[in-house]
Amino acid sequence: MQFGLDEDQTAIRDMAAAFAADHIAPHALEWDETKTFPVATLREAAGLGMAGIYVREESGGTGMGRIEAALIFEALAIGCPTVAAFLSIHNMCAWMVDAYGSDEQRARFLPGLTTMDTIASYCLTEPGSGSDAAALRTRAERDGDHYVLHGEKQFISGAGAADLYVCMVRTGEAGPKGISTVLVEGDTPGLSFGANERKMGWNAQPTRAVRFDGCRVPVANRLGAEGEGFRIAMSGLDGGRINIAACSLGGAQSALDKALAYMGDRRAFGAKLTDFQALQFRLADMQTALTVSRTFLHHAARALDAKSPEATQLCAMAKRHVTDAAFEVANQALQLHGGYGYLAEYGVEKIVRDLRVHQILEGTNEIMRVIVARALIGGR
């Protein structure tokens, strides 16, 4: 149920849905079980313009807006939230290069990013600084026309498989004003990775620590000026929060669809499960939660496109509300399957596992409340 879409937006959504149905959904359970990172499939999606969604057309992207991105990521996540979520991270990195890079940086990096011949990872979180991102400690010391990096990032999606790492590093004083953003290429000497983490979900993308031991990165690889890195990182996260909420919506929609199909076939006490009013009410609440979430998410996406002063607050609200609501819908869908919902072959338990982390990453939902509260109190 998506209202207010124009013809082009409907076509974009349908294109992404068809790609997910044909190229992602049939393999999602296998990729999860074998921890396969489907690079070839991601590059096929890139061939349809889904790796540079809001990179400007003159930079080689598709030049779409955040509402179109939300439609794409929701549709892809119906096939697999994990694959859709990684593509959203890559898009965030590509946008950061387009938005903050120099002409030379855009010409150098964006052709590979928009085709996913160059895969990108976003490196902000550290072992000792998660929610308190401004306390990051990875140092970048100036040495002529290079920075020399020492430190470690944690929980980095795509690490080890990516070709480019968008890294927030400390070039100056303590706090947010001492942070800069540099692009670290995957073959840089001194760059190494931890083991692929064993995770509850998101198994179809690798998650590793990223370590810097005397990495020499050209100053020419810095995005923006020194000290602008924290602002750049946070601006990327506004869009990332919209995207991860959209991925939650897609996963929850898939779980609801599976529950409806199962309940239409399953009989108990001489009737289909869909004949029981108590279960009908639960389905109605699940559908209402998804429709309300989708409506508000699209509102936040439009605010971000319009550069509204309230955009950051609305993105935080949407991320918190949608990821919480979508996880609950997926969890209810598992419950409606009874014991079968706990079995891997039905696909619902995978969705529950995948969606749980969406309440943590791109800023925990507790931090989203902090952002909203500060905006509310500061406006008085």
* Residue 83 clears pLDDT 80, i.e. is over it: yes
For residues 313-325, average pLDDT:
98
Instruction: Give the pLDDT confidence of 142-161 residue by residue, as tens digits.
Output: 999 999 999 999 999 999 99
Which is it for strands 164-170 and 120-123: parallel, antiparallel or unpaired? Answer: parallel
The residue from 68, 74, 126, 362 that is catalytic is 362
Closest CA to 193 of 217, 207, 211, 205: 211
What pLDDT is recorded for position 226?
96
CA distances 341 to 28, 266, 328, 331, 334, Å, are 16, 13, 14, 9, 5
Mean pLDDT of 365-370: 96
pTM of the model: 0.95
* Per-residue pLDDT at 130: 83
Burial (Cβ within 10 Å: 0-12, 13-18, ≥19) of residue 184: buried
- Mean pLDDT in residue range 98-121: 97
Write the single-letter amino acid at 241. R
As a whole number, mean pLDDT of residues 358-378 equals 95
Which tens digit of pLDDT belongs to each residue from 16-43?
999 999 999 999 999 999 999 999 999 9
Distances (CA, A) of 249 to 147, 157, 293, 322, 370: 41, 20, 8, 7, 23
Predicted pLDDT of residue 177:
95
Find out whether 228 and 181 touch, Cβ atoms under 8 Å.
Answer: yes
Q: Look at residue 1 and tell me whether its pLDDT is greater than 80.
A: no
In this prediction, residue 137 carries a pLDDT of 95
Structure tokens that stand for 266 in this block: 């399953």
**Residue 379: predicted pLDDT:** 63
**Residue 362 is among the residues annotated as catalytic for this protein:** yes
Conformation bin of residue 156: beta by default, left when phi > 0, alpha when psi is -120 to 50: beta
Task: Note whether 192 and 208 are within 8 A (CB).
Answer: no
**pLDDT tens-digit series, residues 260-273:** 999 999 999 999 99
Q: Assign 2 a pLDDT band (cuts: 50, 70, 90).
A: low
Average pLDDT over residues 176-198: 97
